[in-house]
Amino acid sequence: MKEVLNPVELSDRIANILAPHLGAITADSVARHLCAKHEIGEGEVESSRSELLRETLRRGLVAFVGAERARNLADECLGGTAPEA
């Protein structure tokens, strides 16, 4: 079963996962900004928005942790693995 997170939990989860790589303050800012950018507000997160956020996270993390680790972290932030293309 796919994990469903509310927006506050999602932002906190992303910040906690990214903190060791970006620092706590930067990770929190990134998480809040990206959730706002992708219009993840109240209610359940739509899968289309979740996948766009996953891709944005992955692309942004590549410079910090490399491509493979960026993909893994983005998947972890959004509770699983990305669907096969």
| Region for 79 from its dihedrals, namely left if φ exceeds 0, alpha if ψ lies in -120 to 50, beta otherwise | left
Q: Is residue 34 part of a domain?
A: yes
User: What's the first-to-final CA gap in the chain, in angstroms?
Assistant: 20
Q: Domain range holding 45?
A: 7-77
Written as six digits, the tokens of 84 are 């096969």
**Span 9-42, pLDDT tens digits:** 889 999 999 999 999 999 999 999 999 999 887 6
**Span 55-65, pLDDT tens digits:** 999 999 999 99
Q: Decide: 50 and 35 in contact? Cβ < 8 Å.
A: no
Domain count, the chain: 1
Q: Is residue 2 part of a domain?
A: no
Burial (CB count within 10 angstroms: exposed 0-12, middle 13-18, buried 19+), residue 65? middle
Q: Is residue 41 part of a domain?
A: yes
